[in-house]
Amino acid sequence: MDRSEDARRLASPSSSSSERTAASAPSSSDASTRAEEHATDGVKALDKLLQAQEGNALNDNVKLVLTEAQAWDKLGFTYPTWKKWTILSVIFAVQCSMNFNASVYANAVAPLSRQFDISEQAARVGQMIFLVAYAFGSELWAPWSEELGRYPILQLSLFLVNIWQIPAALAPNFGTIVVARFLGGICSAGGSVTLGMVADMWKAEEQQFAVAFIVFSSVVGSVLGPVFGGLIEAHLSWHWNFWIQLIFGGVVQVIHFFLVPETSTRILLDREAKRRREAGEAEIYGPSEVEENRFSPRKIVIIWIRPFEMFVREPIVLFLSLLSGFSDSLIFTFLQGFDPVFKQWGFGTVAMGLAFISLLVGYIIAYASFMRRNPNSLLPEARLKWLLFTAPLEPIGLFGFAWTSLGPAHGPWIAPMIFAAMIAIANYAIYMATIDYMIQAYGPYAASATGGNGFARDLLAGIAAMYSAPLYANLGRDSNEWASTLLGFLGILVVIPVYIFYKEGPAIRARCKFAQEVALRERESRPGTPML
């Protein structure tokens, strides 16, 4: 058997591999067809490389690079459904832990103020610094997960975040807490990495339900903070605010360590190429193995600045991230109204925390609403269509919350909670739709792209941590309603770009270098795919 024949044999998946692929996909017939297409593409691609190699007499110098088509059955796309959702369930817990760390600190503000004899406004610096650092952390960790793999990056991130809980819990002064919170935030990989894992296991037209699940974990984590934070504040010392963050983080890290495999396509191709060489099957290499000076100082800088470059130069990332970020900052500011509003009905510390369950109800409704949409649409703008109807709930909810917050003499406490749930529906929808759009548009660069979304949300929320409480305390004589009313008017401005982007999306995407690069790759590997 000559070398060309041997290579073609190696590139074609075995019948058992095809069966595994079919069993793991949502539709066995579709998956079988896809596996056959990729196998055929793999043979053709390898044939072309071998012909070029032989034609140019470079038999000993040319390195054949293993492609997705040639190792399709080894990639995360073909994991069985049960395995994919086991991984996502663990990632759900990881994401909840990260967002719990950001939100539960609010219940330590008053105790820390008393402990270190500082104002509550000064104590909020610990919350602000974590969120701002978290914004940069999401951007800094994301590209490394694309280069080195999701698994080691998440493990290292979780380990470091857990370590920084210890000095915070044992802090002899408030300065130590600020430093520990900054380090914890900058070490948090965030949703950019976890959402990148969705792109590793589902093609763009199949990913919606998985994206919705991960986005749901993010907002659930932000609600768990105040719900359990109220109990912690009422019954334990401030030290336990950090110890419980450590316990939560430690448990999810252990679960992740044992149950989650690597999903990065790049890393899995490298591993498969190495396995084939060791078996003496073919002179073939993974994409990382043929990259020269992979970790030279210049390339390290390029890797690190990729998310920031995409945030600044890719209109999709910039516009949708700012849309999502401003929405999140409005929500964060509005949440500061819970304390003065519900105190009018006599809510104590624990009851105040339980009031946040109204947001959880809204998030569950929003999550369920995304289950009815068609996940097979290839056009990214289709992912924004439901947002046209749900985004207006944000200003409506803010206005409603404002004018049902006048106290027991004007209505029951359930009324502002209903409007709070409407705000939560809009917040989830905006986050979900923008993330879903980015993952479809950017594929292998999804972690860097969604890092921009997380960057805007966390940065603007961190800034809001410093002005939201004074806003509700000082705006007008009847501050409860007027502060929320102001946010309602700002909510109108946030919603308007949704309609602009839905209409002008194709023109905006045409100016995006990374998005067009991904679309071109997809079109080359799967003939008939439209340019995005």
Do 256 and 331 share a domain, yes or no?
no
Q: Where does a domain end: 268, 295, 322?
A: 295
Place of tokens 């330590």: 108
Domain membership of residue 413 (yes or no) is yes
Domain membership of residue 41 (yes or no) is no
Task: Compute how many other C-beta atoms are within 10 angstroms of the C-beta atom of residue 267.
Answer: 23
Q: Give the three-state DSSP class for 38.
A: helix
Q: Which residues contact 488 (CB under 8 A, 6 or more apart)?
A: 395, 398, 399, 402
Strand bridging mode 64-65 / 284-285? parallel
Do 352 and 224 share a domain, yes or no?
no
* Residue 341, domain extent: 304-531
Do 118 and 225 share a domain, yes or no?
yes
Q: Which amino acid is at 319?
A: F
Q: Which tokens hold the place of 88?
A: 């996502």
Q: Among 336, 332, 335, 334, which Cα is nearest to 324's?
A: 332
Domain membership of residue 310 (yes or no) is yes
Distance CA 137, CA 354 (A): 30
Question: What CATH number is given to the structural domain containing 161?
Answer: 1.20.1250.20
Q: Give the three-state DSSP class for 2.
A: coil
Do 274 and 338 share a domain, yes or no?
no
Domain membership of residue 13 (yes or no) is no
Do 273 and 182 share a domain, yes or no?
yes
The three-state DSSP-derived secondary structure of 202-217 is CCHHHCHHHHHHHHHH
Q: Which residues of the chain carry a pLDDT beneath 50?
A: 1-36, 38-40, 42-43, 45-46, 48-60, 375, 527-532
Domain membership of residue 181 (yes or no) is yes
Distance CA 273, CA 286 (A): 5
Do 118 and 249 share a domain, yes or no?
yes
Query: How much is the pLDDT for 519?
Result: 66
Distance CA 513, CA 519 (A): 10
Q: Give the three-state DSSP class for 65.
A: strand
Query: How much is the pLDDT for 476?
Result: 59
Query: How much is the pLDDT for 59?
Result: 46
Please give the full DSSP string across 468-517, using - where no structure is assigned. HHHHHHHSSTTHHHHHHHHHHHHHHHHHHHHHHHHHHHHHHHTT-HHHHH
Domain membership of residue 254 (yes or no) is yes
Percent of the chain with pLDDT over 70: 82
Q: Where does a domain end: 240, 270, 295?
A: 295
Do 429 and 333 share a domain, yes or no?
yes
Q: Which amino acid is at 86?
A: T
Do 390 and 281 share a domain, yes or no?
no
Query: How much is the pLDDT for 52?
Result: 44
Q: Where does a domain end: 253, 268, 295?
A: 295
Query: How much is the pLDDT for 378?
Result: 57
Do 335 and 391 share a domain, yes or no?
yes
Distance CA 175, CA 57 (A): 67
Task: Compute how many other C-beta atoms are within 10 angstroms of the C-beta atom of residue 445.
Answer: 26
Q: How many residues does the chain have?
A: 532
Do 291 and 309 share a domain, yes or no?
no
Distance CA 145, CA 11 (A): 27
Do 289 and 387 share a domain, yes or no?
no
Domain membership of residue 40 (yes or no) is no
Domain membership of residue 20 (yes or no) is no
Distance CA 506, CA 212 (A): 23
Do 205 and 328 share a domain, yes or no?
no
Q: Which tokens hold the place of 499?
A: 């309609």
Q: Give the three-state DSSP class for 205.
A: helix
Query: How much is the pLDDT for 142?
Result: 79
Q: Among 427, 435, 442, 455, which Cα is nearest to 366's?
A: 427
Burial of residue 475, with CB atoms counted within 10 A of its CB: 0-12 exposed, 13-18 middle, 19 or more buried: middle
- Per the structure, the count of domains in the chain is 2
User: Is the Cβ–Cβ distance between 42 and 24 less than 8 Å?
Assistant: no
